[in-house]
Amino acid sequence: MRVVLLGPPGAGKGTQAQKLSEKLGIPHISTGELFRSNIENGTKLGLEAKRYLDAGDLVPSELTNQLVDDRLSEADAANGFILDGFPRSTEQAKALHAMLERRGTDIDAVLEFRVSQEELLQRLKSRGRADDTDDVILNRMKVYRDETAPLLEYYRDELKTVDAIGTMDEVFARALRALGK
Protein backbone atom coordinates (compact mmCIF):
# COMPACT_ATOMS: atom_id res chain seq x y z
CA MET A 1 0.00 0.00 0.00
CA ARG A 2 1.33 3.42 -1.00
CA VAL A 3 0.05 6.17 1.28
CA VAL A 4 0.65 9.93 1.50
CA LEU A 5 -0.06 11.69 4.80
CA LEU A 6 -1.10 15.34 4.82
CA GLY A 7 -1.86 17.58 7.76
CA PRO A 8 -0.67 20.74 9.48
CA PRO A 9 2.25 20.85 11.92
CA GLY A 10 1.06 19.29 15.18
CA ALA A 11 -1.61 17.07 13.61
CA GLY A 12 0.25 13.91 14.65
CA LYS A 13 1.34 12.73 11.19
CA GLY A 14 4.71 11.43 12.37
CA THR A 15 3.18 9.43 15.21
CA GLN A 16 0.47 7.97 12.99
CA ALA A 17 2.95 7.26 10.19
CA GLN A 18 5.06 5.21 12.60
CA LYS A 19 2.03 3.26 13.86
CA LEU A 20 0.77 2.63 10.31
CA SER A 21 4.25 1.56 9.21
CA GLU A 22 4.42 -1.04 11.99
CA LYS A 23 0.86 -2.30 11.41
CA LEU A 24 1.14 -2.51 7.60
CA GLY A 25 4.77 -3.67 7.47
CA ILE A 26 5.89 -0.90 5.12
CA PRO A 27 8.46 1.85 5.70
CA HIS A 28 7.65 5.29 7.10
CA ILE A 29 9.47 7.71 4.80
CA SER A 30 9.87 11.18 6.29
CA THR A 31 11.57 13.89 4.25
CA GLY A 32 12.99 15.39 7.45
CA GLU A 33 14.59 12.04 8.28
CA LEU A 34 15.82 11.66 4.67
CA PHE A 35 17.57 15.03 4.92
CA ARG A 36 19.10 14.17 8.30
CA SER A 37 20.36 10.72 7.30
CA ASN A 38 21.79 11.93 3.97
CA ILE A 39 23.55 14.83 5.72
CA GLU A 40 24.91 12.53 8.47
CA ASN A 41 26.12 10.02 5.87
CA GLY A 42 27.75 12.77 3.81
CA THR A 43 26.01 11.80 0.57
CA LYS A 44 26.29 14.13 -2.42
CA LEU A 45 22.57 15.03 -2.15
CA GLY A 46 22.86 15.39 1.63
CA LEU A 47 25.77 17.82 1.37
CA GLU A 48 23.90 19.80 -1.27
CA ALA A 49 20.79 19.96 0.96
CA LYS A 50 22.94 20.99 3.94
CA ARG A 51 24.17 24.08 2.05
CA TYR A 52 20.57 25.31 1.70
CA LEU A 53 19.55 24.39 5.24
CA ASP A 54 22.65 26.01 6.78
CA ALA A 55 21.81 29.21 4.90
CA GLY A 56 18.25 29.08 6.26
CA ASP A 57 16.82 28.46 2.79
CA LEU A 58 14.28 25.92 1.61
CA VAL A 59 15.79 22.91 -0.13
CA PRO A 60 14.77 23.11 -3.83
CA SER A 61 12.07 20.68 -4.95
CA GLU A 62 14.37 19.01 -7.49
CA LEU A 63 16.75 18.00 -4.70
CA THR A 64 13.96 16.81 -2.39
CA ASN A 65 12.39 14.90 -5.30
CA GLN A 66 15.71 13.14 -5.98
CA LEU A 67 16.10 12.15 -2.32
CA VAL A 68 12.57 10.70 -2.29
CA ASP A 69 13.07 8.94 -5.64
CA ASP A 70 16.28 7.34 -4.38
CA ARG A 71 14.54 6.21 -1.17
CA LEU A 72 11.60 4.73 -3.10
CA SER A 73 14.14 2.66 -5.07
CA GLU A 74 15.22 0.80 -1.93
CA ALA A 75 13.97 -2.78 -1.59
CA ASP A 76 11.84 -2.22 1.53
CA ALA A 77 9.67 0.32 -0.33
CA ALA A 78 8.89 -2.00 -3.26
CA ASN A 79 5.58 -3.14 -1.76
CA GLY A 80 4.50 0.17 -0.28
CA PHE A 81 5.35 3.04 2.03
CA ILE A 82 3.94 5.80 4.19
CA LEU A 83 5.11 9.22 2.94
CA ASP A 84 5.22 11.97 5.58
CA GLY A 85 6.27 15.50 4.61
CA PHE A 86 6.16 14.86 0.87
CA PRO A 87 4.70 16.05 -1.39
CA ARG A 88 4.29 19.61 -0.13
CA SER A 89 3.20 21.16 -3.41
CA THR A 90 1.35 20.20 -6.59
CA GLU A 91 4.70 20.31 -8.40
CA GLN A 92 6.09 17.68 -6.00
CA ALA A 93 2.88 15.62 -6.28
CA LYS A 94 3.32 15.53 -10.07
CA ALA A 95 6.97 14.50 -9.61
CA LEU A 96 5.88 11.72 -7.22
CA HIS A 97 3.31 10.53 -9.76
CA ALA A 98 6.05 10.35 -12.41
CA MET A 99 8.37 8.43 -10.02
CA LEU A 100 5.66 5.88 -9.32
CA GLU A 101 4.54 5.68 -12.94
CA ARG A 102 8.12 4.68 -13.90
CA ARG A 103 7.72 1.84 -11.39
CA GLY A 104 4.33 0.85 -12.81
CA THR A 105 2.37 1.89 -9.73
CA ASP A 106 0.57 4.84 -8.11
CA ILE A 107 -0.63 6.21 -4.77
CA ASP A 108 -3.33 4.08 -3.15
CA ALA A 109 -4.54 6.58 -0.56
CA VAL A 110 -3.98 10.09 0.75
CA LEU A 111 -4.93 10.70 4.38
CA GLU A 112 -5.51 14.25 5.52
CA PHE A 113 -5.26 14.58 9.32
CA ARG A 114 -7.64 17.39 10.20
CA VAL A 115 -7.39 19.36 13.46
CA SER A 116 -8.86 22.73 14.45
CA GLN A 117 -6.51 25.71 14.61
CA GLU A 118 -7.22 26.10 18.34
CA GLU A 119 -6.25 22.47 19.03
CA LEU A 120 -3.08 22.81 16.92
CA LEU A 121 -2.04 25.95 18.81
CA GLN A 122 -2.53 24.14 22.10
CA ARG A 123 -0.63 21.03 20.96
CA LEU A 124 2.30 22.95 19.52
CA LYS A 125 2.63 25.28 22.51
CA SER A 126 2.58 22.31 24.89
CA ARG A 127 5.62 20.78 23.12
CA GLY A 128 7.71 23.42 24.90
CA ARG A 129 9.93 24.36 21.97
CA ALA A 130 11.44 27.82 22.34
CA ASP A 131 10.58 28.75 18.73
CA ASP A 132 6.92 27.69 19.09
CA THR A 133 5.52 31.18 19.77
CA ASP A 134 1.95 32.00 18.68
CA ASP A 135 3.22 34.07 15.73
CA VAL A 136 5.60 31.35 14.53
CA ILE A 137 2.92 28.66 14.91
CA LEU A 138 0.26 30.73 13.12
CA ASN A 139 2.71 31.46 10.29
CA ARG A 140 3.54 27.74 9.92
CA MET A 141 -0.20 27.00 9.74
CA LYS A 142 -0.70 29.67 7.08
CA VAL A 143 2.21 28.33 5.01
CA TYR A 144 0.73 24.82 5.32
CA ARG A 145 -2.73 26.02 4.23
CA ASP A 146 -1.33 28.00 1.30
CA GLU A 147 0.82 25.10 0.09
CA THR A 148 -1.59 22.28 0.80
CA ALA A 149 -4.97 23.57 -0.39
CA PRO A 150 -4.01 22.85 -4.02
CA LEU A 151 -2.76 19.36 -3.00
CA LEU A 152 -6.16 18.48 -1.53
CA GLU A 153 -7.69 19.25 -4.91
CA TYR A 154 -4.93 17.39 -6.79
CA TYR A 155 -5.55 14.24 -4.71
CA ARG A 156 -9.35 14.59 -4.49
CA ASP A 157 -9.93 11.05 -5.88
CA GLU A 158 -7.60 9.36 -3.36
CA LEU A 159 -8.23 11.72 -0.42
CA LYS A 160 -9.69 10.51 2.87
CA THR A 161 -10.07 12.89 5.81
CA VAL A 162 -9.19 11.63 9.29
CA ASP A 163 -10.41 13.47 12.39
CA ALA A 164 -7.13 13.84 14.32
CA ILE A 165 -8.73 14.91 17.63
CA GLY A 166 -8.62 12.26 20.34
CA THR A 167 -6.13 9.79 21.73
CA MET A 168 -3.35 8.35 19.57
CA ASP A 169 -5.19 5.04 19.44
CA GLU A 170 -8.52 6.64 18.49
CA VAL A 171 -6.89 8.55 15.62
CA PHE A 172 -5.00 5.39 14.57
CA ALA A 173 -8.26 3.40 14.45
CA ARG A 174 -9.80 6.12 12.24
CA ALA A 175 -6.75 6.10 9.95
CA LEU A 176 -6.94 2.31 9.56
CA ARG A 177 -10.67 2.54 8.79
CA ALA A 178 -9.97 5.22 6.17
CA LEU A 179 -7.49 2.81 4.55
CA GLY A 180 -10.03 -0.02 4.68
CA LYS A 181 -7.93 -2.00 7.20
Q: What residues form the annotated binding site for AMP?
A: 31, 36, 57-59, 85-88, 92, 129, 140
181 within some domain: no
85 within some domain: yes
Residues paired with 114 in a beta bridge:
163
What are the pLDDT digits (tens) for 73-115? 999 999 999 999 899 999 999 999 999 999 999 999 999 999 9
d(C-alpha 151, C-alpha 75), whole Å: 28
Q: Are 6 and 147 in contact (CB under 8 A)?
A: no
Integer-rounded Cα radius of gyration of the chain = 16
21 within some domain: yes
76 within some domain: yes
Helix-helix angle 44-54:61-72, to 10 degrees: 150
Q: What residues form the annotated binding site?
A: 10-15, 31, 36, 57-59, 85-88, 92, 127, 129, 140, 166
What are the pLDDT digits (tens) for 123-173? 877 876 666 677 877 888 888 888 888 999 999 999 999 999 999 999 999
What pTM was estimated for this model as a whole?
0.89
Q: What residues form the annotated binding site for ATP?
A: 10-15, 127, 166
50 within some domain: yes
> Residue 157's domain spans which residues?
2-176
Q: Are 100 and 68 in contact (CB under 8 A)?
A: no
Q: Into how many domains does the chain fold?
A: 1
Write the CATH number for 109. Answer: 3.40.50.300
- pLDDT score of 132: 66
C-alpha angle 174-75-85 in degrees, rounded to nearest 5: 45
- pLDDT score of 129: 64
48 within some domain: yes
